[in-house]
Chain A
Amino acid sequence: MGIEIITLLIVVSLLTLMALGVPLGITTLTVSLGTAILYFGERAGFFIVAANVGEVLHKYELIAVPFFVFMANVLERSGIAKSLFDSMAILGGRFRGSVAVQTCVVAVVLAAMSGIMGGEIVMLGLIALPQMLRLGYDRKLSIGIICGAGALATLIPPSVVLIVYGLAAQVSITKLFAASAVPGLLLASLFIVYILIRVRLNPAMAPIFDIPETGLPLHQRLRFLKGIVLPGVLITAVLGVIYSGIATVTEAAAVGAVGALVVAAVRGELTWVMARDAMRQTALTVGSIIWLVLGAVSLIGIYNRIGGGEFLREMLTSLDIAPLLIIAVMMLIVMVLGTFLEWIAIIFITVPIFAPVVIDLGFDPVWFGVLFAMNIQIYYLSPPFGPACFFLKSVAPKDIELQEIFLAVLPFIALQATGLFLVLFFPEIALWLPGLFD
């Protein structure tokens, strides 16, 4: 059986199982086991799945996820999140959509303290989403903002995606980080402009916080900054330990989790019951996330072993089109693979094939790395296999269904694609900052 047919069969069976409502981790696991056993027989098939599944528990990057979830749970349960958003709403005054815009700004700051997407999305999902809904913001808009802006964690440095890309393609990580900063801010700006346009066209999407304080002149509203002070101190402290070299990015997340407890204690809201419930909620959330990842990774090795890489290489070399179109085809391949593979798998399969081609075509691999990271963000949001959506689902209020999240992220995927095309056609957006170093 040809690899094209197998690829097709894999995608079709994944979609079928998903549609039946089978948990997503089980879906990928079932397809992995099926493919492995049919293709390699029992012994080798069992081995390849077991080996890759076992490796997930050695992925150090993943341990930041519970740290973020716990931090967010504490902030949410202690009322810190509520007063933060009240303050933000009051400070924004009668400016329509101000809380949504401020959430984007907060997301950019959080992105600078997290290298992985999952952590930031669950954090925003726990803290910002209930608050935006409480303030009457449109559900779909709020969900889209959380997923779109939360995904910035892997574009704005530090970013694990860029580090893994740098290692796989042997490209300078310093330059990748420098190159990704401006595109990250560009995406955030696109999100903000989109929000402002949407709420201008349809004011019902973003009601003004209807309390007298929002009508006060700005200098009087400033005293409501106090709700922002404690979370602000916490964020500054975490960023401080990262950028001063006290702690690694993962450790900083742990410091933040301890910090959240301290902040809650300062406000007199730290109780055993609150901390215990925050921990239990964390266990449930990370428990559902890990079984999702376990299933997804086992497809990596199988797809590679049955010649997925060769298939892509031949497809690319047989193309006789303009160089920029080849880049576009590569981006498309990443998107397609993103419907059924985990991002590390995508990097393992595609980067070794793409990077030499990109360099042969005369393009800068640093620029391609940024495009790649932007593309991974699209993959992260896009249904049916959109981890960002799954992460948000794992913490969102119960009545928010996955399909609603999928619909909500569509406009933000379009914005991400816009950003991607801008960087594709105007490489300077990415390259001018690292260019200053040479």
Chain B
Amino acid sequence: MRRLFARCAAAMDGVSVFIGQACSILLFACIGVSALEVVMRYGFDRPTVWSTELAMTLCATAWVLSVGYVTERNRHIAITMVEILVGPRVWRWCLLVQMLIAAGAIFILMLALWDPAIKALRHMEHSGTAMNSIQPTYLKVLLVVGCVLYLLQLAANITRWVQRTDQDIGHGH
């Protein structure tokens, strides 16, 4: 059982890191799209109607989907002053509380985002702009996916906490 959990956690780490690193390519594409728009508009006098929306969408995807990677590396920003005050043993329990609160909040956020996402999918919300893409629908669904990734990675981190294998990764934020 213990081994199974450990293996699942390790698998989730792998998934998060893979998605996170793939996201970095999207950010690069976002830079490319924005720079291209400058060339198209200034160089060729042919502004595109899609660059703003595409750049936003690429960036948003990278922002949201990198959450597993950020969580796996413990890079969420937090105040860790209490660690010095309470000592390592109590702090270890604080770490668990932090992860449980995060899991609770993200779970409720996911519930909150669920209905709007389903509704957007059913009606296929478009942006209503000149490009009129399905960006709004996509972003609503994307947020739900982000929450799921966040939750799964939190589960992996909690597993490591329980099995006391989290020390090797460190908790520096």
Contact = CB atoms under 8 A, between A and B. Distances in A.
A394 B23 CA distance: 18
A87 interface: no
Contacts of B67: 287, 291
A17 B101 contact: yes
B56 to A, nearest CB: 6
A70 B173 CA distance: 20
B142 A57 contact: yes
Contact of A394 (B24, B30, B77): B77
Main secondary structure of the interface of B (DSSP, over half): helix
B172 A398 contact: yes
Contacts of A46: 111-112, 115
Interface in A4-39: 17-26, 29-30, 33, 37
B58 to A, nearest CB: 9
Contacts, number: 198
B139 interface: yes
A29 B106 CA distance: 8
A257 interface: yes
A127 to B, nearest CB: 18
Contact of B105 (A29, A45, A258): A29
A206 B84 CA distance: 29
A250 interface: yes
B143 interface: yes
Interface stretch (B3-11, B32-40, B160-168): B32-40
Contacts of A20: 82, 94, 97-98, 101
Interface in A281-315: 282-292
B66 A251 contact: no
A33 B109 contact: yes
Given A29-B105, A33-B109, A254-B34, A19 B24 contact: no
Contacts of A58: 56, 139
B64 interface: yes
Nearest to A292: B77
Contacts of B60: 57
B52 interface: yes
Interface in B50-85: 52, 55-56, 59-60, 62-64, 66-67, 69-70, 73, 75-83
A37 B104 CA distance: 14
Interface residues of B, number: 60
A60 B56 contact: yes
A contact face: mostly helix, strand, loop, or mixed: helix
B86 to A, nearest CB: 10
Contact of A21 (B27, B69, B70, B83): B83
Interface of B: 20-21, 23-25, 27-28, 30-32, 34-35, 37-38, 42, 52, 55-56, 59-60, 62-64, 66-67, 69-70, 73, 75-83, 91, 94-95, 97-98, 101-102, 104-106, 108-109, 111-113, 115-116, 139-140, 142-143, 172-173
28 contacts: A19-B82, A20-B97, A20-B98, A21-B81, A22-B102, A23-B78, A23-B102, A26-B105, A26-B106, A46-B112, A50-B116, A54-B139, A57-B63, A58-B139, A66-B31, A66-B59, A66-B62, A70-B28, A250-B34, A254-B35, A257-B35, A283-B24, A285-B75, A288-B77, A291-B76, A384-B79, A390-B77, A401-B81
Given A50-B109, A54-B113, A287-B20, 19 more contacts: A20-B94, A21-B91, A23-B78, A24-B77, A26-B101, A29-B105, A29-B109, A54-B116, A58-B139, A63-B34, A253-B34, A254-B34, A282-B24, A283-B24, A283-B27, A283-B62, A283-B69, A287-B62, A402-B79
